[in-house]
Amino acid sequence: MNYLEQKVAPRREERLGSCIEFGGTVGEIHKQFCSGCLKNKRRAFSQGTICQLLPATAILTSLQDCVVIVHGAVGCGGAVHALGASVRLGQFNSGDKNPKGALWLSTNLNENDVVSGGEEKLKRTIVEADKRYRPSAIIVLSTCVPGIIGDDIDGVADALKEQVSATLLPIHCEGFKTKIMATAYDAIFHSFLRNMMDGKDETEFRVYDNEIAVTAEKLRRRRLVNLLNISSMTGPDQKELMRLLSKLGLEVNMLPCDAHPDAFRLAPFAALSIGVCPTHDDYFMTYLEQKFGVPFVGGQMPIGIENTSRWLRQIAVKLGLTDAAERIIKSETDELNQALKPLLSHLKGKRVMLSAGEMRTLATAVLLQELGMEILAVRPYHYDEFGGTEIEKLETINPNIRINVATAQPFEAVNILYRTKPDLYVGHNCDNIWAAKCGVSILPIYGTNSIYCGYAGAYDVARRLKRHLKNTSFNEHLAKHVRQPYKEIWYSENPFKYILGGE
Ligand code: SF4
């Protein structure tokens, strides 16, 4: 089905059968997903969730030369304040020595607008944004209120496109529409593909090659590749992947995060698109191939030693560079294994629990297992077909590894922590706090200045783990002095007792 013919991208629940409710083992989830049994699951009690606006704003506010208009109640843009530091860091890493942070406006819809409609306010905001900032693109993010009252953001963009100089990108991102926040990635790429990327061959690109204009055909011949970065990829991660790709002689057009809109206009002329996380990039790369004939490789994250080697091999096969790739893999892994030797004895047998986005949790679990650690439990925020590759690897090691698919739901996490008593919890900070209060050592699964990807990432994760596990007394003391908000009886209950249904 060609979703691009529709104004709105599909929900992940329908497109991929994604779910956010499961409790069991990796062996069970693999079987149940394949037989369709994860459909229609639900929670009888839910402690919270994450609106798709959060990942959407994380990507969109990082774009260069763009204004983001959050069309809705003013609170819908609240999460952008928390993104300020990482947006500025991204701008700094992209060469802006005086980063200004996120540039976003809100249409600040109120009760009157709910009755009379918000389109006029949106029109005025777009015109004002164009006049005041002269951006390359203006992104309109539709939230719950305009979704419910029926504001036609595509119609507004159409009506204004001759009046403003910026390219207008309406994105349907209503939080109520989906339980899978990763739907936001499809919504973003959907709008860029429909409204910005025409793939006209006469285009010349001045953003590339030190401001010298080059033609599309010349770019293709020069082994230009699209590298699909993600918002939870750090500056050092990007450098590591660029380092490996440049060893293969490739030139990189990186997008979407921290990119200029011209990187999207350039993308149809690349020789290959390279994904780093299928949860983020499968929609974009699939349509880039269908619409413009750009082949792609993806399906896994370059986190972990074997995963990084497999990622390089996939790229090399597509571009006829397998001999060069094997040489690079050999020299990189020899050096890495040598460097890891003094660290591994400190990590061997340590018991770990992890949580984060689907691919990141599972790929990091595979890395930690490569470092000799024992995986007790994984908590991906959602699960769908993309998780299958990594789940199979974990299943081979131990089919009884616990898996709890949950966006937030710390009550389930704390219950599992009490039962399994891991030595270490590796997750995002919003999850790590619960483990810390249980007395468990923590390692952020993503930190803006650390490195996780590629061979350098594997080494650095091991180095940081050794340091974290050397002295665990801080969190042990913390647990003695904080109270969890749960009654004692909850710890003897089945952690998954509120997960119901399934076909
Ligand atoms: S759920 Fe709706 S109202 Fe709440 S932040 Fe998301 S878009 Fe706004």
Same fold, 50-178 and 204-324: yes
The sign one gets for the Cα dihedral 19, 20, 26, 32 is negative
How high is the pLDDT of residue 203?
52
On the 0-12 / 13-18 / 19+ scale of CB atoms within 10 A, 135 is: buried
What residues contact residue 342 under an 8 Å CB cut-off, 6+ apart?
Answer: none
- Tell me the one-letter amino acid at 12: R
Q: 53: closest CA among 195, 151, 185?
A: 185
Task: Give, rounded to a whole angstrom, the gap between the first and last alpha carbons of the chain.
Answer: 25
Q: How far is the CA of 60 from the centre of ligand 1 (A)?
A: 16
Segments making up each domain of the chain, as ranges: 50-178, 204-324, 344-501
d(CA 459, CA 339): 7
The pLDDT assigned to 207 comes to 46
- CA–CA distance, 260 with 263 (Å, rounded to integer): 6
pLDDT of residue 201: 52
Pairing of strands 214-215, 204-205: antiparallel
User: What count of residues does the chain have?
Assistant: 503
Helix (H, G, I), strand (E, B) or coil at 447: coil
Q: How far is residue 457's CA from residue 370's CA, in Å, rounded to a whole number?
A: 13
Task: Among 142, 176, 179, name the best residue to mutate to test ligand 1's pocket (greatest count of ligand atoms within 8 A of Cβ).
Answer: 176
DSSP 140: E
CATH number of 344-501: 3.40.50.1980
Ligand 1 atom 3 nearest Cα: 144
Indicate whether residue 53 lines ligand 1 (CB < 6 A). Answer: yes
Print burial letters for 82-93: b (CB count within 10 Å at least 16), e (below 16). ebeebbbbbbeb
> Which pLDDT value is given to residue 197?
84
Q: Where are the beta strands (DSSP E) in 173-259?
A: 204-205, 214-215, 224-228, 251-255
C-beta of 72 in contact with ligand 1 (< 6 A): yes
For residue 502, what pLDDT is reported? 56
CB of 143 within 6 A of ligand 1: the answer is yes
User: Directed axis angle between helix 388-397 and helix 26-34, to 10°?
Assistant: 140
Instruction: Of 377, 386, 194, 391, give the one whose Cα is nearest residue 276.
Output: 386
pLDDT attached to residue 209: 47
Supply the pLDDT for residue 108.
Answer: 96
Atom of ligand 1 nearest to the CA of 145: 3
pTM given for the model: 0.92
User: Residue 156: what are its φ and ψ, rounded to 5°?
Assistant: -65, -45
Class of domain 50-178: alpha beta
- Nearest residue (by CA) to ligand 1, atom 6, is 175
The residue contributing the CA closest to ligand 1 atom 1 is 175
Give, in order, the Cα–Cα distances in Å from 56 to each of 47, 198, 406: 22, 23, 19
Average pLDDT across each block of 10 residues of the chain; the chain has 503 residues. List them in order: 88 92 93 78 91 94 95 91 84 82 94 96 98 97 96 97 96 95 96 84 49 57 87 91 96 93 90 95 94 91 97 95 97 98 97 97 97 97 93 94 95 96 95 95 92 98 96 95 92 94 60
- Give which of 412, 409, 436 is closest to 425, Cα–Cα: 436
372, with CB counted inside 10 A (0-12, 13-18, 19+), is middle
Q: What is the pLDDT at residue 191? A: 96
Beta carbons of 19 and 382 less than 8 angstroms apart: yes
Q: What is the DSSP letter of 502?
A: -
Would you state the pLDDT for residue 164? 97
How many angstroms does the Cα of residue 475 sit away from the middle of ligand 1?
34
Q: Ligand 1 centroid to 180 CA: how many Å?
A: 13
Question: How far, CA to CA in Å, does 351 sit from each of 56, 348, 371, 401?
Answer: 34, 9, 12, 11
Which ligand 1 atom is nearest residue 51's CA? Answer: 6
Cα 145 to middle of ligand 1, angstroms: 8
Dump the DSSP string for 257-300: TT--HHHHHHGGG-SEEEES-HHHHHHHHHHHHHHH---EE-SS
Q: Is 144 in the pocket of ligand 1 (CB under 6 A)?
A: yes
State the pLDDT at residue 210.
47
- Pull the structure tokens for residue 93: 């890493």
Can you read off the two tokens belonging to residue 240?
Answer: 């590591």
Q: Is the Cβ–Cβ distance between 226 and 288 less than 8 Å?
A: yes
CA distance 342 to 322: 31
Confirm or reject: Cβ of 61 under 6 Å from ligand 1: no
473-481 and 429-437 are packed helices; what angle lies between their axes, rounded to 10 degrees?
Answer: 70
Strands across the sheet containing 104-106: 104-106, 66-71, 137-142, 167-172
Q: Which amino acid is at 237?
A: D
Q: Is 387 in the pocket of ligand 1 (CB under 6 A)?
A: no
Outline where 293-321 has alpha helix (H). Answer: 305-319
Residue in this structure with the two tokens 């693999």, named with its chain if needed = 30
> What is the whole-number distance in angstroms between the Cα of residue 202 and the centre of ligand 1?
41
Residue type, 494: N
Q: Supply the CATH classification number for the domain 204-324.
A: 3.40.50.1980
Q: Which of 174, 179, 407 to mutate to test the pocket of ligand 1 (most atoms within 8 A of CB)?
A: 174
C-beta of residue 284 within 8 angstroms of C-beta of residue 228? yes
Which residue's CA is minimally distant from atom 8 of ligand 1? 76
Backbone angles phi, psi at 444, to 5 degrees: -60, 135
Question: What is the DSSP annotation of 340-407?
Answer: HHHHHHHHTT-EEEEEESHHHHHHHHHHHHHTTPEEEEEEES-B-GGGHHHHHHHHHH-TT-EEEE-S
- Ligand 1: atom nearest CA of 173 is 7
